[in-house]
Amino acid sequence: MTEGKNTLEDLIEALQILKKYGNPKYPTHCEHDIMHICIDPEQVSDEDKAKLDELGFFEDEELNCFATYRFGSS
């Protein structure tokens, strides 16, 4: 991960990880400064969750998806 930079490579890597677990018709939901990726965290391996964490994504338990502030705002 490139510290302090919201690189396109990091976002693409995270999306490629999440795509292994589904390909929803409407994969994202954004509001305010947060981007949600509509993949059920229970389906994702612990190894992939650790990598997603490094890339700035966390489990949003309330919405049952992954979320990031890193790529949710400019």
- Domain layout of the chain by residue ranges: 24-74
pLDDT tens column, 11-68: 999 999 999 999 999 999 998 899 999 999 999 999 999 999 999 999 999 999 999 9
pTM, two decimals, is: 0.86
pLDDT value of position 53: 97
- Could you tell me which residues come within 8 angstroms of residue 11 by beta carbon, excluding any fewer than 6 positions away? 55, 71
